[in-house]
Structure 1
Amino acid sequence: MAQEYIFWPMIVMALLTFIPLGMMPIKRIQSALRGETTPDDYKLGESARVPADVSLPNRNYMSTLEVPVLFHVLSLALYATNRVNAVFLSLAWAYVVLRIGHSIIHLTYNRVMHRLVPFAASNFVLIVMWVMFALSLLRFGSN
């Protein structure tokens, strides 16, 4: 299998990160134009005056940068050790699809129990990937 295939789920994950990043200034400017917030409301993050719909893209953006860092690191490790195979690639795509589902729910109707399912499932997939990677290192050593 071409090792470079692992970069496609990484690219899609990066694109997912750019969506809330692009939404943040739009929501903040709209809020300022409505008189709901001022620049001081963002001086130390977000003040209590910032409406939930304005805070949401920022929180989603942070979420796409937290645990997914471990996904990106693992993907690069798989590439560097020549361990990208159909199983890892399928799990990588499963992780990304679950994160997309989480973000769609988070950025739209935001029901916590609904977004918990893809969030928890994505974390489970990532843990499985890391365990499999570690076992492959133990079992086969370096290539």
Structure 2
Amino acid sequence: MIYPVFSMVLLTLVVGIIAFFTRVNSVKARKVNPKAYKLMDAESFPESVIKTTRCFNNQFEVPVLFYVGCLFYVALNVSSVVGLYFAWAFVLLRAMHAYIHITYNHLLHRIIVFWLAVFMVLGLWITLMLNMA
């Protein structure tokens, strides 16, 4: 389980770096006054800043369920190939979600990938519970 978790951490860091450079570039291009970042005055932000910021924030929502589930697999020494497949599927879907969100941001595509990832976390947890019985 450690490799999918590490991959999610890397994904989060990559999205964070993209969000950071998007913000820096918005200031350099004089699209955003640097003071706007003090209180995150979103009304003055270009779409690229809003998308990358929201995508980064989103990495700390549903993925928390993934991290906790994986931690239980490791802490309880549960070995499950099915659980591992759910974990990797979640990471892949979250990477797809981030890509969609940051690039073309098609809402239907994003929602489908988002909910598929949620179901992977559910599968991860159900598999954990079944392995505990």
TM superposition score category, shorter chain reference: over 0.9
Q: Classify the secondary structure of the residue corresponding to 2:59.
A: helix
Tell me, in whole angstroms, the C-alpha distance in 1 between the residues paired with 2:41 and 2:66. 28
- Tell me by how many angstroms 1:22 deviates: 0.6
**1:119 corresponds to which residue?**
114
1:71 and 2:66 are equivalent in the alignment: yes
Which TM-score applies when normalising by structure 1? 0.86
Structure 1 runs not aligned, ≥5 long: 1-5
Asked if 2 retains the 8 angstrom alpha-carbon contact of 1:46 and 1:55, the reply is no
Partner residue in 1 for 2:56: 61
| Aligned counterpart in structure 2 of residue 26 of structure 1, from 10, 21, 24 | 21
Report the alpha carbon displacement of residue 54 of structure 1 after superposing the two structures with TM: 1.4
| Cα distance in 1, alignment partners of residues 41 and 131 from structure 2 | 44
- Report the secondary structure of 2:31's partner residue: coil
Regions of 4+ moved over 4 Å: none
Query: Partner residue of 2:47?
Result: 52
Residue 3 of structure 1 is matched in structure 2 by none
CA RMSD of aligned residues (A): 1.3
Tell me which residue corresponds to 2:125.
Answer: 130
> Per-residue CA shift, 1:4-48, capped at 9, x if unaligned?
xx1000111111101121112211121112221112211223430
Q: Deviation digits for residues 37-80 of structure 1, max 9, x if unmatched? A: 11221122343000111121111111111110110111010011
* 1:22 counterpart letter in structure 2: I
Unaligned 5+ runs, structure 2: none
The answer to whether the 8 A contact 1:10-1:72 is kept is: yes
Matched positions, count: 133
The question of 1:103 aligning with 2:101 is answered: no
Flag the 1:120–1:81 CA change in 2: closer, same or farther, 3 A: same
Q: What's the % identity of the aligned pairs?
A: 33
Provide the TM-score with structure 2 as the length reference.
0.92
Residue number in structure 2 paired with 1:91: 86
Distance 1:82 1:68 in 2: 21
Cα distance in 2, alignment partners of residues 84 and 61 from structure 1:
31
Greater Rg by CA: 1
